[in-house]
Amino acid sequence: MDTDPYSSPLAFFRAELKRLRQRAGSTQADVAEQTNYALATVSAYETGTRIPSADFAERADRLFGTDGDLARLQQLVERVSVRPWFRDRVDVERKAREIHEYESYQVPGLLQTSDYARAIVSSVRPVLPDDAIERAVALRMTRQQILEPDEDAPLDQDNALRMWAIIDESALNRVVGGPEIMRAQREHLLIMAQRPNVTIQIIPDAEGATCAFGRAFAVLVSRSSNSSVVYFEDVGTARYISDRDEVSRYALIFDYLRSYALNDTQSIEVIKGGMK
């Protein structure tokens, strides 16, 4: 992570947060307690490994008496850090009750480790600058907060959602970043699979062709209603489908993919198998 506070809005935010905290004579634990955020989250915001939330920025402004400075800076951080075509995905995720995601090439972003995510983002061509890579990784780590409210979300909010991920075995066999990174990624999947709101199923390579033909997609179900949207990601762009009949078709495809997949216990054994 670049230590130059002027290298990006995210770097400036974390530098300002640290400066304000130190000026107040507070520790990170003090800020965590007084904003009602987990210590790990405050630490991540101060090191720039996660993008600060608007709620945290507002609470920090009240704590430090900064008259909305951090909240305004947070808006700039989020606007710069999230690509325009991906911003809708982030907004929908935050309001989602369930996410049903199928991936054939890589581990879904919500289940990636930071090292795995960094290796994935680094493969983009033309090559991205280091600060852009770190912002992209920070965004992926930030998105994962919706899966772990007890640790990473405000302690007085419950915004966990249910995620059901179906992953082709070939995605686990693809060595991203090297053997050690893949081992850590498999270990992370095993940890995530133990969460009550996360289900991971693996489609073995022996199944051959499936009804999705390797085309990754996600069905996101809104928390406030039963409306859903289907998300596809392409190189440098994304597509969203909200037509009810089309959404239903992809929901049915996801159900068929579940029938190809191993159950969760068998899937865990496949994930473990690549660690031997």
* pLDDT above 90 (res 6): no
pLDDT interval class at 184 (50, 70, 90): very high
Left (φ > 0), alpha (ψ -120 to 50) or beta: where does 65 sit? left
pTM: 0.76
Would you state the CATH architecture of domain 84-273?
Answer: 2-Layer Sandwich (3.30)
Q: DSSP secondary structure string, 32-49?
A: HHHHT--HHHHHHHHHTS
Give the start-to-end residue ranges of the domains of the chain. Answer: 9-81, 84-273
The candidate with the shortest Cα–Cα distance to 153, out of 164, 166, 140, 143, is: 143
pLDDT above 90 coverage of the chain, percent: 60
Are 9-81 and 84-273 in the same CATH fold? Answer: no
Q: 195-248, pLDDT tens digit by residue?
A: 999 999 999 999 999 999 999 999 999 887 778 999 998 877 788 898 999 999
Q: 49-100, pLDDT tens digit by residue?
A: 888 888 999 999 999 999 999 999 988 888 777 676 677 788 888 888 999 9
Question: Does 126 sit behind a cis peptide bond, omega within 30 degrees of 0 on the bond before it?
Answer: yes
Please give the structure tokens belonging to residue 157. 């909010």
Q: ∠ CA 24-3-116 to the nearest 5 degrees?
A: 115
- Give pLDDT, residue 29: 95
The candidate with the shortest Cα–Cα distance to 260, out of 169, 153, 199, is: 169
Instruction: List, in sequence order, every residue forming a beta bridge with 237; answer none if it has no partner.
Output: 234
Tokens 């997949």 found at: 261
CA dihedral 241→245→246→247, nearest 10 degrees, is 70
pLDDT above 70 coverage of the chain, percent: 92
CA 198 to centroid of chain Cα atoms: 13
Task: Indicate the DSSP class of residue 207.
Answer: G
| CATH of 9-81 among 1.10.10.60, 3.40.50.720, 3.40.50.300, 1.10.260.40 | 1.10.260.40
- Give pLDDT, residue 217: 96
CA distances in angstroms from 168 to 102, 111, 171, 191, 200, listed in the order given: 8, 14, 6, 19, 11
Tokens 């983009």 found at: 124
